């Protein structure tokens, strides 16, 4: 197995773990919280859904911390602040599924969407709309939800029946798996533009990265040989090689999947705590000045 295949396999095992932890039929987290702590709820993805928690917070309903959804929400969002959006990068199978699907489609049929349309204003506009919608009497929380669709697709493997879809289900599958999945380079178009949970986690990571005690991706320009391998394989195109050969990084689009760190042949990318600014050399706490070859992106 070559290095890339090995990294993809290890990542796949993480998403498989996420599937077993949160999705039916296993739903290990829900079952544990129900059986050990006697918390009320069902053993399905809806019981831990952070979309519901975000909607309840935005609409003033609030969430109980002593509930299945409250505990999972707190863990996901606290870890995003301190460690980056690890749920997205390491565990979420609904985000990973179209990424792996996109690897089956030849690149010539794919669009580099995130290069053409900056994800940040779109995803935060979408997040704002998502949070305002209930106030205006619209319910989008379960509509257009890729968690639901992933759950239904996986359960349908057992029953060979996807069940009865709604129009919003059909629209979700079309965009999540096809337009923004298989035919988008990296397959993470839904994550980059639509998912409210990912957007909220990335925002927390972006803010958290300002503090020295939080963990984040750091870059050592002295080691980098500008091979572009990291950027080529970044599923969200958060890393990109500019026309002038310089490497740019958009922290707000990064999933903390760690693929770039594993792939870099020169170990120029590291995950560590310390001052913000991803241009820190490994083991060096001071920010380095931009080098002639590489320039820091304005958005990092």
Partner 1 sequence: MITRKVSVKHAAANALIFLSAGVLMLGLGHYRTLIPREAGTLNYLLASGEKTSFTVDVQDQGLPKRLVQPGRISIAAPMMSLSEKGGSHRVRVTARGFENGSVNFSSRNPSFDSALGVFSSEFHPGEVINLTAGLRFSHLTAWTQPSISEGVIAFTDYSTGETLGEISVHVVNSGQSGSGAAASGSAGSSIEFGQDHSNH
Tokens matching residue 117: 């349309």
Say whether residue 276 binds ligand SF4 (CB under 6 A): no
Pairing mode of beta strands 215-219, 239-241 = unpaired
Residue 224 interacts with ligand SF4 (CB under 6 A)?
yes
In the bound complex, what is the minimum distance in angstroms from residue 164's beta carbon to partner 1?
A: 4
Interface characters, 121-160, with ligand SF4 (x: CB under 6 A): -------------------------x--------------
Closest distance to partner 1 from the beta carbon of 205 (Å): 19
Which residues are paired to 249 by β-bridges?
A: 239
Q: In this complex, which beta carbon is closest to partner 1, that of residue 120 or of residue 177?
A: 120
- # residues near ligand SF4 by CB under 6 A: 35
- Kindly state whether residue 133 participates in binding partner 1, applying the rule CB under 8 A: yes
Binding test (CB under 6 A) with ligand SF4, winner from 88, 127, 203, 240:
88
Residue 249 token pair: 């990084």
Residue among 274, 279, 297 at smallest CA distance from 289: 279
Indicate the residue among 124 and 211 with the shorter CB distance to partner 1: 124
Q: Which residues bind partner 1 (CB under 8 A)?
A: 42, 46, 117-118, 120-126, 128-130, 132-133, 136-140, 142-145, 148, 163-171, 174, 193
């Amino acid at each position: 197995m070559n290095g890339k295949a090995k990294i993809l396999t290890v990542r796949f095992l993480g998403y498989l773990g996420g599937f077993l932890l949160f999705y039916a039929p296993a739903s290990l987290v829900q079952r544990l919280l129900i059986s050990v702590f006697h918390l009320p709820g069902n053993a399905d993805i809806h019981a831990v859904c952070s979309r519901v928690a975000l909607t309840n917070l935005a609409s003033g309903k609030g969430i109980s911390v002593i509930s299945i959804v409250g505990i999972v929400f707190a863990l996901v969002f606290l870890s995003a602040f301190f460690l980056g959006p690890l749920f997205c990068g390491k565990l979420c199978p609904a985000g990973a599924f179209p990424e792996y699907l996109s690897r089956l489609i030849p690149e010539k049929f794919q669009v580099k969407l995130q290069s053409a349309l900056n994800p940040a204003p779109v995803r935060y506009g979408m997040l704002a709309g998502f949070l305002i919608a209930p106030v205006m009497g619209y319910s989008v929380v379960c509509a257009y939800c890729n968690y639901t669709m992933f759950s239904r697709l996986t359960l349908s493997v057992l029953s060979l029946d996807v069940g009865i879809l709604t129009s919003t289900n059909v629209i979700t599958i079309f965009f999540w798996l096809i337009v923004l999945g298989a035919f988008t380079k990296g397959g993470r178009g839904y994550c980059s533009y639509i998912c409210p949970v990912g957007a909220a986690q990335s925002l927390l990571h972006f803010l958290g990265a300002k503090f020295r005690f939080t963990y984040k991706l750091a870059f050592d320009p002295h080691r980098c040989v500008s091979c572009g391998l990291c950027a080529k394989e970044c599923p969200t195109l958060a890393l990109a090689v500019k026309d002038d050969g310089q490497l740019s990084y958009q922290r707000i689009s990064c999933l903390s999947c760690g693929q770039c760190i594993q792939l870099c042949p020169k170990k120029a990318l590291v995950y560590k705590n310390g001052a913000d600014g991803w241009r820190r050399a490994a083991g060096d706490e001071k920010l380095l000045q931009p080098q002639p070859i590489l320039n820091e992106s304005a958005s990092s």
